[in-house]
Amino acid sequence: MTRIQIPRGTQDIMPGTVELWHYVEAKARELCRRFNYAEIRTPLFESTELFQRGVGETTDIVEKEMYSVANPRSNDALTLRPEGTAGVVRSYVENKLYGSPNQPTKLYYLGPMFRHERPQAGRYRQFVQFGAEAIGSSDPAIDAEVIGLAIRLYQELGLTGLSVELNSVGTVEDRARHREHLLAHLNGVRSELCEDCQSRIDRNPLRVLDCKNEKCKTLTKDAPSILDYLSEESAAHFEAVKDYLTALDIPYHVNPRLVRGLDYYTLTAFEIKMAEIGAVETLCGGGRYNGLVAELGGDDMPGIGFALSIERLLLALEKQGVQLPITGGIDCFVVVQTPEAKKGAFILVDQLRQAGVAAELDYLDRKMKAQLKQADRLSARFTAIIGESELANGTVVLKEMATGEQQEIKQDEFISVLAAKVQQAN
């Protein structure tokens, strides 16, 4: 029989690695608590139309990357979520969070996203995004807070040498003014641009600047910068964001070509990059989306957010050789020396577990020596031995593996003694 394999672009996260995920996810949640962002959980699939409208028809995501299925009971199609913002904003509107006096609404999400991409290092078809959204404030300070939240996560995990690439893509009006000048430039080199870019010129010319093709990059090197077409108000917002970032000691680099793939971005756009992460160097992307909430049927509320994947974060940690402080191993392996002791040991293990101790015993009828080996494999901090003499005088021999120190403890005191030792060490 042929063996069925894992789908392309997905991964199993196995014991031994999943602990890294737990650590990073716990850190992200903990940081959100400190920054006062509350978790929101939205469905893994939504109406396809949500992403068409919320992410934008001319984006790579909507054009090429969505997993969609026809909804068998109605005419609308459903799509596995390729990103988090559209669902969060849909929920924000649906639950009328804009009507709450508690503003801005600060939310975070952590969960799988799905994109039909060409798999490579740091690029998967299912990946986990951590993202945050602050909806209901235009204050440039919150732009800096959102960027800061992502940066602090990376910093607290031990990454160094990150840079924030920053731009303002202006308002719809700013972009309209910029557009004719940009078009004039792009039309001048049209025939030499890649096929994708040629079609982008007519549909969303700013995105030509986002093309990863080296030839396109060179051809558009001197294209007019959006930053030269910002209104006074937009320019002031950009200046204030930079000022707040400096105040937080977060270095940034203004990159006027940074446009982000998504249509709904306004004003602040940013990416966080690492110097040398190989094929994929962007760790995090985000920006302002004033206009998205109204686009999805809510009051006209401004918003800003970011998204980063845990996969690229772990890849970055690996590249920089950062060891996360993961402590594995069980607390106590109960070794059974004679078959008569088995039932007592079985009860003891259950009692230990109830007392908060991670405990295990043998289930393969191993000899004592093999049981000790198993204890070793499980990195047990203690072993407890119950044998004939221990049974006779109601004691347990407790051994601390690191020191080799042994002590004989009365069975009725054993649970509390060990629980106390374990608690002390934790």
Of 194, 280, 397, 401, the one binding ligand ATP (CB under 6 A) is 280
The interface region with ligand ATP, picked from 20-28, 154-162, 282-290, 340-348 by CB under 6 A, is 282-290
Q: How far is the CB of 265 from ligand ATP (least distance, A)?
A: 10
Known binding residue 264? Answer is yes
Stretch that binds ligand ATP, among 92-100, 121-129, 383-391, 392-400 (CB under 6 A): 121-129
Q: Is 271 one of the annotated binding-site residues?
A: no
SS3 42: coil
Does 309 participate in binding ligand ATP (rule CB under 6 A)? yes
- Of 237-245, 301-309, 332-340, 375-383, the segment contacting ligand ATP by CB under 6 A is 301-309
Report which of 164, 162, 88, 96 is spatially closest to residue 131, judged by C-alpha positions.
88
Q: Is 303 annotated as a binding residue?
A: no
Our finding on whether 127 is near ligand ATP (CB under 6 A) is yes
**Is the CB of 311 or the CB of 331 nearer to ligand ATP?**
311
303 binds ligand ATP (CB under 6 A): no
User: Taking CB under 6 A as the rule, does residue 81 contact ligand ATP?
Assistant: no
What does DSSP assign to residue 64? I
Cβ neighbourhood burial of 47 (10 Å; 0-12, 13-18, 19+) = middle
CB of 130 to ligand ATP, least distance (A): 9
133 is in an annotated binding site: yes
DSSP designation for 62: I
87 binds ligand ATP (CB under 6 A): no
Bridge-based pairing of strands 126-135 and 105-114 is antiparallel
Q: How far is the CB of 224 from ligand ATP (least distance, A)?
A: 23
Q: Which is nearer to ligand ATP, 127 or 333 (CB)?
A: 127
Choose between 38 and 121: whose C-beta lies nearer to ligand ATP: 121
Out of 78, 86, 307, 334, the only residue in the binding site for ligand ATP (CB under 6 A) is 307
Bridging pattern class, strands 395-400 and 406-410: antiparallel
- Which residue type occupies 404? G
Cβ atoms within 10 Å of 246's Cβ, excluding its own: 12
Choose between 9 and 344: whose C-beta lies nearer to ligand ATP.
9
Using CB under 6 A, which of 219, 284, 357, 386 touches ligand ATP?
Answer: 284
Q: Is 108 in the site for ligand ATP (CB under 6 A)?
A: no
Please report whether residue 136 would count as binding ligand ATP according to CB under 6 A: no
Q: How far is the CB of 325 from ligand ATP (least distance, A)?
A: 24
Supply φ then ψ for residue 181, to 5 degrees.
-70, -40
Query: β-strands 266-274, 162-168: how paired?
Result: antiparallel
Contacting residue, 87, 285, 291, 305, with ligand ATP by CB under 6 A: 285
Select from 291, 268, 245, 261 the least CA-distant residue to 135: 291
Asked if 184 and 72 count as a contact pair (C-beta separation under 8 A), the reply is no
By CB under 6 A, is residue 333 in contact with ligand ATP? no
Stretch of residues binding ligand ATP (CB under 6 A), selected from 117-125, 225-233, 338-346, 412-420: 117-125
Helices (H), 70-203: 85-94, 140-157, 172-189, 195-203
- x/- mask, ligand ATP, residues 360-399, rule CB under 6 A, reads ----------------------------------------
Closest approach, Cβ 275 to ligand ATP, in A, equals 15
Residue 115 annotated as binding? yes
C-alpha 269/C-alpha 165 separation (Å) is 8
Strands 359-361 and 332-336 turn out to be parallel
Residue 83 found at the interface with ligand ATP (CB under 6 A): yes
Q: Which residue has the tokens 């459903």?
A: 78
The DSSP bridge pattern shows strands 77-80 and 266-274 to be unpaired
Does position 261 interact with ligand ATP (CB under 6 A)? The reply is yes
The tokens describing 327, both together, are: 């402590």
Q: Are strands 105-114 and 77-80 parallel, antiparallel or unpaired?
A: unpaired
Backbone dihedral angles phi then psi of residue 224, each to the nearest 5 degrees: -60, 140
| Gap between the Cα atoms of 294 and 274, Å rounded | 34
Write down the number of H helices and E strands in the chain. 15, 16
What are the structure tokens assigned to 6, written together?
């894992």
Nearer to ligand ATP, 56 or 291 (CB): 56
Can residue 283 be called a binding residue for ligand ATP (CB under 6 A)?
A: yes
Residues that bind ligand ATP (CB under 6 A): 83, 115, 117, 122-124, 127, 129, 261, 280, 282-285, 307-309, 311-312
The binding site for L-histidine comprises 83-85, 115, 129, 133, 260, 264-265
